[in-house]
């Protein structure tokens, strides 16, 4: 049975108890709307620690005013059950006043890996993410925290933030999970009707074509990026970015790619029937084998 | 003898050793240029802990390009000796690459008490302060850290930051120290020639007049502010602000002042022969008795 916790005091009592017993704490922060992608992060975290905490908090500061904060999927009981089944020992339904107390005055602005890509389209996004993640990590103080590679840039932002502010967690990336049709799992996929869903599949297809071209010897990043872009735009998707970047620092290749496909990652953000889709893969890890 | 430490590893070895011995750690972060004001913070910190760490780091991010970063007073040996005499057990001469490592990507922007007053004149100042203080506190992890009331707004910003990011220190305010002529001690006072020094004394005089008027029954904050401003401008000082605000949140009084003089603080920032002077006092704690 996973504990269901709302109050911060109760969370801290339980964490203190586990720590006194010498148990290590794993943490998977979520915004709810849980799917198999989240559950796989939880199973991974659970395998790395003694006790697993899952938080559910829809963070308003990472939504822009025109974005879908109000409509973001919420199902507390369903989320609790899924977390429990995936190994959570405690599900923390965080309250707004505990994450942002009345005097809260601190905003964290990430530079470095937080600049460009997502930030070009959602300027305040990583500021919101960094601020809430810093708060969550300082409230939970986990030994290990797992963030999905689905939000690859976010994973690198969180890792850097954790280093810079010495938040003390080991930040682990969790593998992106795809549906049977290749589409990356996302809470927002529920908004895709059948036609939009078919169109959305173009995103993993574009990644697949980029990986296959690389595997066939193409080493020019511009050619590979263009291949992905044409694939997306031919199917009517609106492209925010489709780009091969360094896996470690997200910088664009200065030259032709080398022969280490894990060093490079293809990142796509595209909009399909009003839904923004994110997907990515290492060049040796295409959506389909 | 105070240890003189440059390397971060050495700092952490010593801190770990003290912690293993169950000793509490006090911390006074400085930018060097030490004077009796700093020394009094150190003595205060020393009385509150078992071991006292003083850091010396001239933080570039809290200076604007036109400000006096290059000219800021530096005297490592003198600062070490003064720290030792004031009770420091370890003086950490922090290196730039340890405070801001090459991948450093995090900027902390304080709102709340960090908005207005100083920020109206030095827009990036508290961003620089909050970022370096967060870094210093996470590197030292002191039990107690003492910050001077001379920089009163800064003290409140640091306290809020420490709460928000749960940095775990007790933040203590250290009393402002005045020279014999009433001028608040400041590293920058060395730049004042005899004529400028005489003019600079107008700052504590303005505070004195505001306190005396309050003590005589004046309760209108506008009248008290105007009294201070006229005093300063009559002597040719250029005023950034001269204002009575709440001691706890720096907000302007909404109405007439009440009869609790500790609840209100007069804050002055003024420029005198190109030197920016900061001073403040609670309304029952004037520069001269």
pLDDT in tens, A13-53: 999 999 999 999 999 999 999 999 999 999 999 999 999 99
Model pTM?
0.93
- Structural contact between residues B145 and B48, judged by C-beta atoms closer than 8 angstroms: no
Same domain, B168 and B194: no
Does A139 have pLDDT greater than 80? Answer: yes
A160 and B113: CB-CB below 8 Å?
no
Cα separation, A199 vs A231, in Å, equals 11
- Minimum distance, in Å, between the CA of residue B19 and any CA atom of chain A: 17
Give the domain CATH number at B201. 3.30.1300.10
At residue B165, the pLDDT reads 97
Question: Which residues of A belong to the active site?
Answer: 38
- From A174, A198, A218, give the residue that closes a domain: A174
pLDDT tier, A64 (very low <50, low <70, confident <90, very high otherwise): confident
Same domain, A260 and A167: no
Residue B182 falls within a domain, yes or no?
A: no
B160 and A106: CB-CB below 8 Å?
yes
- From A137, A152, A174, give the residue that closes a domain: A174
Q: Considering only CB atoms, which chain B residues are within 8 Å of A134?
A: 165
Same domain, A92 and A205: no
Question: Per-residue pLDDT tens for B28-53?
Answer: 999 999 999 999 999 999 999 999 99
Residue B146 falls within a domain, yes or no?
A: yes
Question: Which residues of B belong to the active site?
Answer: 38
Residue A288 falls within a domain, yes or no?
A: no
A106 touches chain B (CB under 8 A): yes
What mean pLDDT comes out for the span A245-270?
A: 97
Token reading at B277? 């002077």
Complex-level ipTM: 0.88
Same domain, B165 and B259: no
At residue A90, the pLDDT reads 98
At residue B73, the pLDDT reads 73
Residue B65 falls within a domain, yes or no?
A: yes
- From B174, B205, B236, give the residue that closes a domain: B174
Question: Per-residue pLDDT tens for A146-161?
Answer: 999 999 999 999 999 9
A109 and B113: CB-CB below 8 Å?
no
Dihedral in degrees, nearest 10, Cα atoms A280, A283, A284, A285: 10
Residue A99 falls within a domain, yes or no?
A: yes
Same domain, B120 and B208: no
pLDDT tier, A62 (very low <50, low <70, confident <90, very high otherwise): confident
Residue B288 falls within a domain, yes or no?
A: no
Cβ under 8 Å to B: A residues 109-168: 109-114, 130, 134-135, 138-139, 157, 160-161, 163-166
Does A289 have pLDDT greater than 90? Answer: no
What mean pLDDT comes out for the span B163-169?
A: 97
pLDDT tier, B213 (very low <50, low <70, confident <90, very high otherwise): very high
What mean pLDDT comes out for the span B207-221?
A: 98
Does B152 have pLDDT greater than 80? Answer: yes
Domain that holds residue B13: 3-174
At residue A252, the pLDDT reads 97
What mean pLDDT comes out for the span A194-221?
A: 97
Does A111 have pLDDT greater than 80? Answer: yes
Q: Considering only CB atoms, which chain B residues are within 8 Å of A250?
A: none
Token reading at A158? 């969180």
| Lowest-confidence segment of A54-63, A243-252, B88-97 by average pLDDT | A54-63
Same domain, B192 and B263: yes
Which of B114, B135, B166 is opposite residue A105, by nearest beta carbon? B114
Same domain, B140 and B201: no
Residue A95 falls within a domain, yes or no?
A: yes
Alpha-helix residue ranges (DSSP H) falling in B111-254: 118-121, 125-140, 152-164, 194-200, 202-215, 221-234
Cα separation, A157 vs A176, in Å, equals 17
Does A66 have pLDDT greater than 90? Answer: no
Does A68 have pLDDT greater than 80? Answer: no
Token reading at B82? 């003064």
Same domain, B112 and B235: no
Same domain, B210 and B89: no
Q: Considering only CB atoms, which chain A residues are within 8 Å of B132?
A: none
Question: Per-residue pLDDT tens for B66-118?
Answer: 887 877 777 899 999 999 999 999 999 999 999 999 999 999 999 999 999 99
At residue A108, the pLDDT reads 98
Same domain, B134 and B265: no
Q: Considering only CB atoms, which chain B residues are within 8 Å of A114?
A: 105
What mean pLDDT comes out for the span B145-161?
A: 98
A159 to chain B: closest CA residue:
B105
Give the domain CATH number at B36. 3.40.50.620
Tell me how many residue pairs between chain A and chain B have CB atoms under 8 A apart.
Answer: 75
For chain B, percent of residues with pLDDT exceeding 90: 93
B132 to chain A: closest CA residue:
A165
Mean pLDDT across chain A, nearest whole number? 96
- Minimum distance, in Å, between the CA of residue B18 and any CA atom of chain A: 20
- Structural contact between residues B107 and B135, judged by C-beta atoms closer than 8 angstroms: no
Same domain, A165 and A52: yes
Total domains in chain B come to: 2
Q: 3-state DSSP call for residue B267?
A: strand
Q: Considering only CB atoms, which chain B residues are within 8 Å of A109?
A: 106-109
At residue B66, the pLDDT reads 80
Residue A69 falls within a domain, yes or no?
A: yes
DSSP B83-109: HHHTT-SEEEE--HHHHS-TT--EEEE
At residue B71, the pLDDT reads 76
What mean pLDDT comes out for the span A181-210?
A: 96
Same domain, A224 and A277: yes
B113 to chain A: closest CA residue:
A105
């Amino acid at each position: 049975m996973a504990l269901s916790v709302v109050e911060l005091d109760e969370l801290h009592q339980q964490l203190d108890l586990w720590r006194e017993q010498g148990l290590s704490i794993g943490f998977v922060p979520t915004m709810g709307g849980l799917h198999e992608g989240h559950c796989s992060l939880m199973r991974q975290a659970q395998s790395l620690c003694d006790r697993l905490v899952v938080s559910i908090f829809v963070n308003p500061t990472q939504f822009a005013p025109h974005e879908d904060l109000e409509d973001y999927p919420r199902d507390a009981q369903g989320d609790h059950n899924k977390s429990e089944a995936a190994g959570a020992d405690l599900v923390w339904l965080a309250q707004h006043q505990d994450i942002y107390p009345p005097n809260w005055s601190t905003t964290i602005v990430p530079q470095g890996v937080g600049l460009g890509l997502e930030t070009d389209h959602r300027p305040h996004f990583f500021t919101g993410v960094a601020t809430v993640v810093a708060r969550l990590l300082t409230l939970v103080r986990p030994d290990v925290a797992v963030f999905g590679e689905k939000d690859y840039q976010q994973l690198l932002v969180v890792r850097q933030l954790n280093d810079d502010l010495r938040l003390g967690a080991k930040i682990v990336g969790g593998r992106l999970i795809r549906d049977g049709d290749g589409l990356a799992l996302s809470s927002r996929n529920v908004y895709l009707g059948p036609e939009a869903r078919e169109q959305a599949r173009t995103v993993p297809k574009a990644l697949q074509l980029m990986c296959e071209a690389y595997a066939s010897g193409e080493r020019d990043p511009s050619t590979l990026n263009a291949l992905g872009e044409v694939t997306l735009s031919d199917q009517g998707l609106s492209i925010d970015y489709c780009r091969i970047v360094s896996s470690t620092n997200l910088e664009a290749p200065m030259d032709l790619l080398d022969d280490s496909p894990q060093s490079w990652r293809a990142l796509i953000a595209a909009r399909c029937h009003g839904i923004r889709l994110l997907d990515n893969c290492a060049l040796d890890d295409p959506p389909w084998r």
